[in-house]
Structure formats: C-alpha cells, structure tokens
C-alpha cells in the first residue's frame, strides 16, 4: 500500500500508478456494463465519474486520455 505523504496535494507518480492498476483491476473484475460515482470535494464541488464499456455517445475516441 502506498503511503500518502500529503493527503491534500496532487498524487505522486507512485500513487498515480497504483490508481491506474486498481482501476484496471476494477474494470476487469467488477465493472459489469457501467458505473457512475459522485464524489463530494472538501471545496464544495462535486466530481462525477462514469465508467462504461465503450465510449459515451457523441464522444470521439481521441478525446480520451489513455492511461
């Protein structure tokens, strides 16, 4: 498990690699058709995350960041 040095800052390279590995594992074993998450931030903002098999309607493949 990666230790978080600064829980309020950007992810370290090691943390980002762990995030990618966990997302791949989640998609391989837990993602059925789609998943939708709502994350409340300390700033009061809300982040919406949607994962699914295949691109969203009206979204071209080049707009996605490959990780």
Give the pTM.
0.73
Torsion angle, alpha carbons of 21, 27, 29, 32, to 10: 170
3-state secondary structure of 1: coil
User: 2 pLDDT exceeds 70?
Assistant: no
Tens digits of residue pLDDT in 3-54:
555 567 899 999 999 999 999 999 999 999 999 999 999 999 999 999 999 8
**Contact residues for 61 (Cβ-Cβ < 8 A; gap 6+):** 55
């Amino acid at each position: 498990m990666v230790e978080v040095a600064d829980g309020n800052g950007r992810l370290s390279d090691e943390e980002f690699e762990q995030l990618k590995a966990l997302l791949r594992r989640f998609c391989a074993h837990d993602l059925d058709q789609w998943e939708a998450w709502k994350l409340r931030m300390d700033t009061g903002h809300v982040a919406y995350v949607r994962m699914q098999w295949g691109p969203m309607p009206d979204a071209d493949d080049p707009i996605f960041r490959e990780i």
